[in-house]
Chain A
């Protein structure tokens, strides 16, 4: 199988998966919306019963009341879209979502009702926070990991491994709470809430971003360094490294020229997924820092029962993940020629 054919196969595959997932998401969210609409309709009907309905019952008699009530129910069912069959709604919703027509929200968020516009406001914020943090983490992690691999078994290597194991078991949001406690409450170095205010200057915003970025880097770089170290140690034991050493290639060149290039495919995959994952923000961490990005937006949408926004965001996250998969496949095929061979393409 050629590279292009392989790539086309992966893309078609991703699109099929996306179609099915969109359908599942629509089915799930429409179901939830239907439940809440039913409750809302019932409540409105009860209210009508207590006010207008009571007057009609007293003045026009019970028969007239039943008739008016029936039309009222009909009207309410139409208002809450309960007259359309469930599956029809699901299919409509799925198709509209695939056409990127997410609709509007009931309440304005960030000053607009348009779901696409809301996402466009929140997305850059998550990018600024998490993508910055991810890039810092990757650079730091790669650098430290390579260093640890070069001096495997040294004090530095051991300390890094212990640190990585420790931070692997820490929830990021709890670390965030800790950092707020220590750096914002105790030492007053950072603001307690990272919510943006309309008249914030650039310095203010950077100040508000600093603590979340610090938290992310602190929790994540150990794991990166450790994984890089393990991959590098494996690569450094390969024969071609020994051959390069025997040839007298400088150590610096062996590490960064030979070993890192051979270790690149898994690392690049990790980088792609980390960067794409950062676009979605982190729901709980953003809640802890009160940071107005994608993650917190999802939570707000859930609290306010904004089905359209929820579907839009979930669709966005799914597309991100799948494009990550395709991108990783692409890069993998590019960096590791063996992938092009039919047998391993199936692996």
Chain B
């Protein structure tokens, strides 16, 4: 083929492709997908794969909460995620004598339910120069009804102290004791607190609940009515000796949301939106790579087999049949489960090894027809070698078919990769949609109704698949009007 021919042919093809609406839709989708995948570090969190399995990194995120926009569809609105630093206008610092009091105004607007999922206070910088007179911290919550709830009392303060209301069972005990006092008037000791109750139940919702009319703590825990208004979190740091310095500049007060970000969080508090965006990289790369490789291998194998004919053909087809008869998913699972550390390249190799057979069969039967053409005979008569005839005369004839096959086998490859990841066989240094779904399945997300965790990754797989199906069917229509029904 001459260069001009290729140019002409390509132009003609483009003109025809422009008329295929589905193909154009597919290309637009593909461009969007590629852009989303490429800009993942800029639009979300950079270096996400290294952070994804580090549960400490996600500590300051709420767990298992829906996305923020969920509030648009529900009458019981849920609090967003709020982080306060010293510069915030809602934060005040007052120093009196040896005490420093930091107050944070936190507003629970009307129609919002349950308050935050928890409160995390950290970022103290304490320099201990003397073992005597260690600074201590006390935390109170002043409710709109005027109640002042003691959450932490005189806890010794050091740089690594994190106050985690809602996750620390000691604080939950304090809340329970307060709740008993307010509803029944009894004073109980920490030993009287039923551990079962405070460990299973959400103890933050009662803290932000209206107590009027309640006759016992369980009533409030089970059905907390919201108390709207402005809450004040009061952090009192007592500094008996100025030798031990406390620096507040980096202090961070996080009111964990009942909703978070664009796609909510999973059981570790991981930002699912970031995971979703990063997952597209793996899906698209593996999908395209696997389909290209298996098409190339299948094509060359099939054409060679057809061209050689005779015993070589029989032998090559037997090998093809053997590969086709081995049940691939079970064997893939077996190999994956016993291989130890799996890289993405390994998965690509596995999927290619068990995926080229169908293409080989079809391209063989096509090549059998082409082989009988006179120009092949002519090439042979001119003394062309097998390699030259296969690569120069037969394969180019099958190229249009190959492009359509590449596009059409991407969805299968994407689903296969996701399936392996879903079974826990995947690259532990990557973030993939299958792995997100695997975690969702292990944590029984479907039976708990965590839709924001289950739906998006699957939709992602479907969108990638659809993109290539659209392109593939359009290519098929243009390039193989005759071969379409083979």
Contact = CB atoms under 8 A, between A and B. Distances in A.
Given A168-B411, A174-B437, A177-B458, A20 B327 contact: no
B447 A168 contact: no
B469 A165 contact: yes
A129 interface: no
Interface string A169-180: 111011101101
Given A302-B337, A313-B330, A18 B458 contact: no
Nearest to A347: B365
B326 interface: yes
15 contacts: A17-B318, A17-B321, A28-B331, A35-B338, A165-B470, A170-B465, A181-B454, A184-B447, A230-B485, A280-B327, A283-B329, A317-B330, A321-B327, A325-B321, A347-B365
Contacts of A314: 327, 330-331
Q: Place the interface of chain B in its size category.
A: 35 or more
Interface in B397-428: 411, 414-415, 418-419, 422-423
A25 interface: yes
Max chain B Cβ within 10 angstroms of own Cβ: one of A168, A174, A325: A174
Contacts of B414: 169
A178 B322 contact: no
A216 interface: no
B251 interface: no
Given A13-B318, A169-B461, 18 more contacts: A13-B321, A21-B322, A24-B322, A24-B326, A25-B331, A32-B334, A165-B470, A170-B462, A170-B465, A171-B415, A171-B419, A174-B437, A175-B458, A181-B446, A181-B455, A287-B441, A288-B446, A298-B333
B471 to A, nearest CB: 11
B454 A169 contact: no
Contact of A181 (B333, B451, B469, B485): B451
Nearest to A174: B458
A213 to B, nearest CB: 18
B422 A173 contact: yes
A210 to B, nearest CB: 16
Nearest to A171: B415
B416 to A, nearest CB: 9
Contact of A185 (B330, B440, B447): B447
B89 interface: no
A323 to B, nearest CB: 11
Interface in B436-486: 437, 440-441, 446-449, 451, 454-455, 457-458, 461-466, 469-470, 473, 484-485
A113 interface: no
A231 interface: yes
A283 B465 CA distance: 21
Contact of A283 (B330, B337, B440): B330
Contacts of B214: none
Contact of B447 (A16, A28, A192, A322): A192
Interface string B376-389: 00000000000000
B473 A165 contact: yes
Interface in A306-333: 310, 313-314, 317-318, 321-322, 325
A171 B418 contact: yes
Given A17-B325, A231-B485, A347-B368, A177 B334 contact: no
Contacts of A171: 415, 418-419, 458, 461
Contacts of B464: 169
A178 B455 contact: yes
Contacts of B463: 169
Contacts of B325: 17-18, 21, 318, 321-322, 325
A266 B447 CA distance: 41
A29 B469 CA distance: 37
Contacts of B322: 17, 20-21, 24
A169 B485 contact: no
A170 B459 CA distance: 8
A169 B465 contact: yes
Interface in A262-286: 280, 283-284
Given A16-B318, A314-B330, A177 B437 contact: yes
Contacts of A231: 485
A281 to B, nearest CB: 11
Contact of B458 (A13, A170, A284, A317): A170
Contact of A178 (B318, B329, B419, B458): B458
Contacts of A35: 338
A186 interface: yes
Contacts of A186: 449
Contacts of A25: 326, 331
Contact of A174 (B329, B449, B461): B461
Nearest to A313: B330
A168 B469 CA distance: 8
A173 B448 CA distance: 17
Contacts of A321: 324-325, 327
Contacts of B462: 166, 169-170
B483 to A, nearest CB: 12
A61 interface: no
Interface string B204-235: 00000000000000000000000000000000
Given A17-B318, A180-B446, A165 B466 contact: yes
Contacts of A13: 318, 321
A234 interface: yes
A232 B484 CA distance: 13
Nearest to A181: B446
Nearest to A165: B469
A178 B454 contact: yes
A178 B455 CA distance: 7
Contacts of B457: 174
A26 B462 CA distance: 37
A234 B327 CA distance: 32
Given A178-B458, A184-B447, A32 B338 contact: yes
Contacts of B485: 230-231, 234
Nearest to A315: B327
B318 A28 contact: no
Contacts of A180: 446-447
A20 B319 CA distance: 10
B333 A302 contact: yes
Interface in B305-341: 318, 321-322, 324-327, 329-331, 333-335, 337-338
B476 to A, nearest CB: 10
B330 A288 contact: no
B282 to A, nearest CB: 15
A177 B466 CA distance: 20
Nearest to B364: A347
B334 A29 contact: yes
A283 B330 CA distance: 8
Contacts of A173: 419, 422
Given A21-B325, A177-B458, A181-B454, A169 B446 contact: no
A318 B327 contact: yes
Q: Which 4 A-B pairs have the closest CB atoms?
A: A169-B465, A174-B458, A317-B327, A180-B446
Nearest to B335: A28
B348 to A, nearest CB: 19
Interface string A129-158: 000000000000000000000000000000
Contacts of B451: 181
A173 B334 CA distance: 19
A277 to B, nearest CB: 10
Max chain B Cβ within 10 angstroms of own Cβ: one of A13, A17, A186, A193: A17
